[in-house]
Structure 1
Amino acid sequence: MPFGCLALWERRHCSSLSDVTDKYDIGHTLRVKEFCELCLAKERETGKVFFCKKFLKKDGRKVRKAAKNEIMILKMVNHPNILQLIHTFETRKEYFIIQELATGGDVFDWILDQGNYTERDASCVIRQVLEAVAYLHSLCIVHRNLKLESLMYYTENNHNKVVLRDFYLSRYENDGITEPCGTPEYLAPEVVARHRYGRPVDCWAIGVIMYILLSGNPPFYDDAEEDNTDQHNRIIFCRIVAGEFEFDSPYWDDISPAAKELVCRLMEVDPMLRITAQDALWHDWIAGQGASEKNLKDGVCAQFKKNFAKAKWRKAIQVTTFMQRLRAPESNGALGGVVTARNTMGVSHRVTIENQARDGKKVEERAENGETGKAGESHNTQTHTHTHTR
């Protein structure tokens, strides 16, 4: 079904709730997310247990649109690293999406439970994410909400298979997307700058995930302790648009040059120069011997617990609403004007990186407008910064 035909859904015949409950025993709500409730659904005929998302129509147009988007996307895709669609129902009050059940838990939690965790483990995760995203991109589908929390292991007994979930924000690319959405720390510069965007935003998000998997730290962060979400996001957005991130010591001291290079290529500010998911699959860190076997467990897990315990990292915000506030006249301070004053996604740029990922030396950067900066106070770091000026 074409993505522009959402209105057709309103004229579809609706199932009754008994149609759902006659086939599935719907369990109690396990978790409430931004758009839906999560629960288990047991097929009465076979006893098989599936994953169920319930979207309540009364929660508004955005929820209804999210449900329709996810159903349309899942009907189009068939890939081993994407949770497959089993059944859908639309009643007068709800949408039900029945999917395969992944029982292996979040990748995040698995890492915390391991006695040994290496770059090779991280490479295995990223490779499977790249394979799924390359497949989506071949269909001109943009996921738009890739993050560490979107990744799960398929079974608890075999942690070799990673699956993607949560397609309610996914879109067909068409001539470019303008609506900002997603999780702030994972947004690509072109989304923050309110430009038309497409598939490269997913590759940026994979770069952010890879950075976190290797260090336990987010690449773009705010050191402030106060829980001011708007101020936090302004600081994050400034650093994203400038492409400011560091390979901080000691967290990156033992990380391989190949890993650093792939991070830099995935988090390239210019989407035209950013590596694609398909090309990234051929990178030495993914396909070759570039990933180190050194145990990273202690350092990564310590930073995981420190950073991801923060409520502001767990919060999902309405990015569109926040960006509207950000563009308001009263917000046009040094940080508030990030979307307008720092709308810097032009083509006139020159950045020199002295093979920072290959020889381990500190990155040297030169930009035509002289804008440089650090994402935070640190020492003995390798800094990667792209600054683009119009």
Structure 2
Amino acid sequence: MGYFQDTGVLLLYCMTALFWISADRKFIFALLYALVLLCGEYVLEHRMTKILGCVAFDGTSILIPELVVFYPVMGYALLKEKSRVAALTSMITGGVILTENTYLQNGMLLNVAFGCLLAVLLERKTKKYDKLDREFRKTIDDGEEKTLLLAEKNRALIEKQNYEIYAATLRERNRIAREIHDNVGHVLSRTILLTGAAKALNKDQNLEPILDGLDDSLNSAMDSIRSSVHDLHDEAVNLQESIKGIIRDFKYCEVELKYDMSNKVTSNVKYCLIGIVKEALSNVMKYSGATYVKITVREHPALYQLCVEDNGHGCADNMNKTTGIGLKNMQERVSTLNGTLRIESEKGFRIFVVIPKEMQ
């Protein structure tokens, strides 16, 4: 906007030449020429083309002296292109033309000179304004970039915090399950044995109903504890850490893991995926001769996906020639969850598993 404001002011100033000369055809031509020059300077991108346009304006003024009236506009355009030598040359040329054309000397020399000075002042003002505007925009962009970066870091910290809370919760559930199993479970088991011994040694018929009720109550309590410990243990399985543990123990070749799953995965899906990863890595070690394995575990809106692939020579035929129990076990695990399992042995060995969520 600074360009149009400045050139507009300069054009209005140049129109004051009408106090000294008449608005004849040459003046109208000079005005239109100046307007075309200004539009071209704004639209064109090549710097030399813009400078050549101003030089052409300068050359035409030798034939049409009235163009000198709009030299301040041309000088401004040259200054915008940082061509100060060309701008100074044009101003000197204008002065020479005014000197040689006596009918334009009547006050015009001072008018054009002041106009050129105004062009210099406007160009410097706009240059400072543009510099401040660029710095302001850069500050805003830097601020937005830092805000986005901070938001991303906060999101990562929140995710890490949530995962640590989730992992700590699973560890605590495991600890509670072990405590119940090791302490309460053992005490109940000993009490059930003592109650059975008491029933065997008892000869008082009046005590038999009491001992039978005590034995039933203890066995019921033991069943409840077993169920609770089993549920706690299933819920405490950390799928990501379990797969990472399997990979750490796998020393045959390099394994890359890409994991993108939420914490809300049912225990049967966890055990299925863990079992398939174990079996797949075992097959890699036995048959494939691979040097690299990639494991991808990903959750989609409607399904869970597991992909185990290596760069070996393929092992489906080798496994089929043997018992094939490993592949059969994988297939049974996936079928139980209404999923699908696909195996490819071209260019390495690849196991692809899809388990739908809606069936869980």
TM-score by length of 1: 0.24
**Larger-gyration structure (1/2):** 2
Q: Which has the higher contact order (CA 8 A, sep 6+)?
A: 1
